[in-house]
Structures are given as C-alpha cells and as structure tokens.
A and B are shown apart, each in its own frame.
Chain A
Amino acid sequence: MNIFALIKRTFDTEEKIVVSGGKIQEDGAEFIINPYDEYAIEEAIQVRDAAGGKVTVVSIGGEDAEKQLRTALAMGADEAVLINTEDDLDELDQNAAAYILAEYLKDKDADLILSGNVAIDGGSGQVGPRVADLLGINYVTTITKLEIDGTSAKIVRDIEGDSEVIETSLPLLVTAQQGLNEPRYPSLPGIMKAKKKPLAELELDDLDIDEDDVEVKVETVDIFLPAQKAAGRVLEGELSAQVKELVNLLHTEAKVV
C-alpha cells in the first residue's frame, strides 16, 4: 500500500500571538506538527503496519519544516518530502498549496492519502479536499474510524457530533478528526532511526511547476488581534444574592436572556 500523509508545521497551541505590521510575528515561537495531522500520520502508520507498504510524509514550507518531518519519521513514517517554496513563492493560498501537492502526487500511484481535517493556524480545511479533486480521487472528511480491506474502505465520518458510516474504495483521501486514534510519541530508537531515513527536498523546478502556474486566489489584507475584553466582574456576597444579581445583569445589562 502506497500511503501519503500531508502535514503542516504550525504554531504551538500554547503560543501567544503577537501581531505587528499586519503580520503574525514568528520570532521565538515554538512550532509543532499541526495536531490534526498527527492523527493522519498515526493512522498512516497503523494502516501500513496492518497492510504493508510505505508511508511518505509530505509538507510544503521552508527549511524549518524539516524538524516536523523528522518527527513524523521518528513516529514511524518511512520517507519524507519537503516541497520548499521559500525561494520561489512570496505567497501561498489553499488553491496554490493544493495545486503543488497534487502536482507532486499525480504520478505517485497513491492508494491512500491522509491529512488533518484543518490546520490550527489558517483554519481553512480546504487543502485536503482540493487535492483529492485535482487528483480525481474520492475523499471523506473528518473521519474518526478507518478500516481497509483490500481496496475497500469502511469509514466513520464525524458530522457535527453525529456520525455516518460510509463505504467507499481506494484510491482515497481522508482528513482526520480527533478521536481517529491516539498519536504515538516518537520513541528514542525511533528518533535515532529517523536521522537516517530519507528526507528529500524538492523545489517547484523539480516538480516541473512554473511559478506562473501557481495561482493565488485570495489575499490577506490585514491581521489583527481581537478587541481586548473589559475585565470581567466576579460577583461577591452571599451565593444566592450573587445568583440574583447575575440573572439581573444578564437580563438588563447584557440583555441575553
């Protein structure tokens, strides 16, 4: 089975966001594998261990993303590919990212492609389905269970808390939802082995992509922080009096009930 996991390097969840000049400041921030992509990597490894084959993790980004790819290799992926667009492109949107990934994947005969259902930084959730569409393969989003038997797949898809049981077939792209599995931590031997596993770095030239073919369709014109909320009011006094006051405030001041 030829398995690919598409991953993204993102800000650590705990990082404070600093905006300056309409841009997010990255200096000194910690970066991680997008948490939803960890589910994708884990599932890819589990499918390979059950059915045999190879897991390739792929990321678009700058050289810094090597660290996250090494982590995926340490978890158990076999190979990694970094599509480095740093020198070629100033900007990237979902249309462009999907195009580049699909150009990379189109002659790879992928049986299964996995990604997170959304990245916690940009939060668009578009790239997975767009890649599947460009490759002309089927996709299922926000999955919480995947069973593969030969070329057929049985999937549970989360739909806002309810779930759908879906039958489909390979080749297939799925996007991972929380609950799909418990991603493993890289083991020490895993980390040692990862250092020797292949990590290829490709540029657009290597994929025969002309910069002009990479179409960016949306542009971010500004980034800003949410308005600071005025400090909240912690009520005081007898508990029953506090509750009375709260209900009164919600009714007359906040006007939400």
Chain B
Amino acid sequence: MSKKVLVLGEVREGSLRNVSFEAIAAAKQIADGGEVVGVLLGDAVAGLTGPLFEYGADRVVTVEHPHLKQYTSDGYGQALLAVIEEEKPAGIVFGHTANGKDLSPKIASKLQAGLVSDVTSMEGTGDDVVFIRPIYSGKAFEKVKVKDGIVLASVRPNNIAPLEKVAGKSGDITSLTVDITNLRTIIKEVVRKSSEGVDLSEAKVVVAGGRGVKSEDGFEPLKELADLLGGAVGASRGACDAEYCDYSLQIGQTGKVVTPDLYIAAGISGAIQHLAGMSNSKVIVAINKDPEANIFKVADYGIVGDLFEVVPLLIEEFKALKVNA
C-alpha cells in the first residue's frame, strides 16, 4: 500500500546535506509509490527547495520563523509537529545526524511511535519494509520492523544511495505558518572546530592518522592527501589523546562513525574501539610499520612501512593518476 512519507531536510552552512537526499531514497522505499514530501525548517529556507525535488521529493513544505534560525529541539519539534498535523504522513525519515538524533526521539515520543535509528540499509517496500542497522558498534546487524502505526527512521549518512538527480525538476511548495513559542534552550554561540570543507561523517574518502603520526605537524601530509582526494581527515583516539589533533576528528566507538568509500588508516594500530567507527567502510587501506598491527585484519590493502615515506609517495602517485585521467 502506498504511503505518504515526510523527509526532514537538513541544511548546513547554507546548503542541503547529502544525507537528506539519501533520506529521500529511503522515504521512496517506504512510500512504495506514495508521495514523498520534503520538509525544510529554518529562518530562510525557501530558496533551498530545488535539490529536494531534483533528488526525488514530490512536494516540499517549508516553515520559516526567526526562532528556527538555529536548531533547538523545542523550536524544530513544534514546527515539525505542525507539519505532521497538517500532512498526516504514514512515515517520516530523518538523517542520523547530531540534530536528527536529537529531534527524532522527541517526535517519536509525541506520536507514541516506533523509531528505527541509524539505519544503514533496507529491504522490501511499503508495509513490508525491514530496516537493517548496526548494533554492538557494528559487530552485528539487526533487521527491525515497525509493528504498527507511523513509521519513523533515521538513516546513517553515506549508506543509502540517493536517487539519480533529475536536474531542474520541481514541484509544489507549501509554506506553513507556525507559531513557535516557549523555547527553553537558547543557543548563545556555535563554535566551529571541525575542518573546513568536507564533512567527516559524509566524506567519500577519509584519511585518518593515529599515534604513528607523532605530532600535530605529522597530520600535514595526511591533510594534503585528503585534500587531493576531496576527502576529510580523521584520527584515532590515541592521536586525539596525545593532542596531535582536535577531538572533533576522532573516529571510533566514542567519536564519529564513518563509512566512506575509501578509508586510509595511517599509523593506526586498529584498537577495537577504533574499528567500531570505521570497519564498515567500503575499502580500507592500512599503512603501518608494525606488520602485526590489528588494522591489517580489516584492511583490504596494506602497506607495511613508515607513513612518512608512504603518504608522500601516495600523494605523488595520485597526482600522476589525476594528470593521466
């Protein structure tokens, strides 16, 4: 049976995040031929609706209010609940991002609904949808069904393929006016610490360093390699604890979970806590002086050697590849 499914679009620094397009693909699968409605909340989002249509939304609802300039669970909660009240969807898909993780349980609680968090793939369509999600830090997976009622899910970035973009596609936009009151939290300041450019949790290529990087400067060649490949730099807890880099780069059980197409681990031994944050990456390359390092057990390709010799050589080779391509 076809269903109407909402997708909460997420805007970061003035543009939609990829995970929103991935969420549309997930919503299509739940909708099973039904309508997929993109939802955008913010202080000025009317100009951002285009990509939602291009990636498969049939319609878009926007709510604009000065109190939605920054995410708060109260403000976004009130706005999204108003949209739900108006649209009466049979499903809602969120990105499993900091804000999606914060908001989705509140909405689920308000609707007394089942919410499947951190979904990495799906089987079936419509009423038969089964969500697949990692448990035990990715050491196992579970298949989950929502028993009845509205279906809520949040999708982990970089796992569900977005639909093919249809350039220039558009559709109906509804602007909903919502009274947003009684915000109990005030955001005084946002401190940007993560690296400029590519978002680590959405990056297609991650170059990560561990204790073997030895110093803050030691991260420079890794940054150069990441930039060259259009990727982001990450780190193990060891490197963060040693103050070679900020904790915002940490990948692992505590820290970020990433699933890029290519993960290059340089000077990382591969503690189980680190593997929890990256072992589901599509292709893993390990560079380590110690041939017994645990990281080689999960790597697709390994080079036993000093990262300070290997990484500069890699940069040269990738540059050559780019020139020839």
Contacts and interface: CB of A to CB of B under 8 A. Distances in A.
Nearest to B189: A165
Given A222-B142, A247-B321, A126 B74 contact: no
Select the residue from B200, B246, B249, B303 with max chain A CB neighbours within 10 A: B303
A51 interface: no
Given A164-B189, A234-B296, A159 B118 contact: no
A121 interface: yes
Contacts of A234: 291, 296, 299, 301-304
B303 A243 contact: yes
Nearest to B302: A234
Contact of A126 (B70, B117, B147, B187): B117
A221 B314 contact: no
B273 A232 contact: no
> By DSSP majority rule, is chain B's interface helix, strand, loop, or mixed?
mixed
Contacts of A224: 140-143
A95 B283 CA distance: 36
Interface in A1-51: 11, 13-14, 16-17, 19, 24, 35-36
Given A121-B136, A223-B141, A162 B114 contact: no
Nearest to A179: B247
Given A93-B114, A121-B136, A161 B256 contact: yes
Interface string A201-234: 0000000000000011111111111100100111
A181 interface: no
Interface string A122-155: 1111111110111000111110000000000000
Interface string B277-319: 0011011111000010000111111111100011001100110
Given A125-B117, A224-B141, A161 B193 contact: yes
B149 A256 contact: no
A216 B74 CA distance: 26
Given A221-B145, A232-B298, A257-B229, A243 B314 contact: yes
> By DSSP majority rule, is chain A's interface helix, strand, loop, or mixed?
mixed
Interface residues of B, number: 93
A126 B105 contact: yes
B139 interface: yes
Contacts of B181: none
B170 interface: no
Contacts, number: 254
Nearest to B139: A17
Contact of A232 (B97, B118, B201, B302): B302
Contact of B140 (A127, A225, A232, A250): A225
B184 A168 contact: yes
B78 interface: no
A24 B190 contact: no
A143 B137 CA distance: 20
B211 interface: no
Contacts of B296: 232, 234
Nearest to A18: B140
Given A134-B109, A160-B97, A164-B189, A229 B140 contact: no
A249 B105 CA distance: 43
B254 A35 contact: yes
B136 A142 contact: no
Nearest to A251: B321
Interface string A65-100: 000000000000000000000000000011100100
Nearest to A95: B114
B301 A217 contact: no
A235 B305 CA distance: 10
A254 interface: yes
Interface stretch (B23-31, B32-40, B47-55, B127-135): B127-135
Interface string B144-155: 111111000000
A192 B255 CA distance: 34
B15 interface: no
Given A123-B134, A219-B144, A235-B301, A166 B114 contact: no
B46 interface: no
Give me the 8 closest cross-chain CB pairs, A-B, nearest first: A161-B248, A217-B114, A161-B194, A178-B254, A129-B105, A133-B109, A126-B105, A218-B114
Given A13-B273, A166-B185, A226-B140, 7 more contacts: A13-B272, A17-B139, A95-B108, A128-B105, A161-B248, A164-B191, A219-B144
21 contacts: A36-B254, A123-B117, A141-B102, A159-B99, A162-B191, A162-B193, A217-B112, A218-B147, A223-B140, A225-B139, A225-B141, A226-B140, A226-B141, A233-B300, A234-B302, A239-B303, A239-B310, A242-B310, A246-B314, A247-B314, A257-B262
Interface of A: 11, 13-14, 16-17, 19, 24, 35-36, 93-95, 98, 120-130, 132-134, 138-142, 158-169, 178-179, 215-226, 229, 232-235, 239-240, 242-244, 246-247, 249-251, 254, 256-257
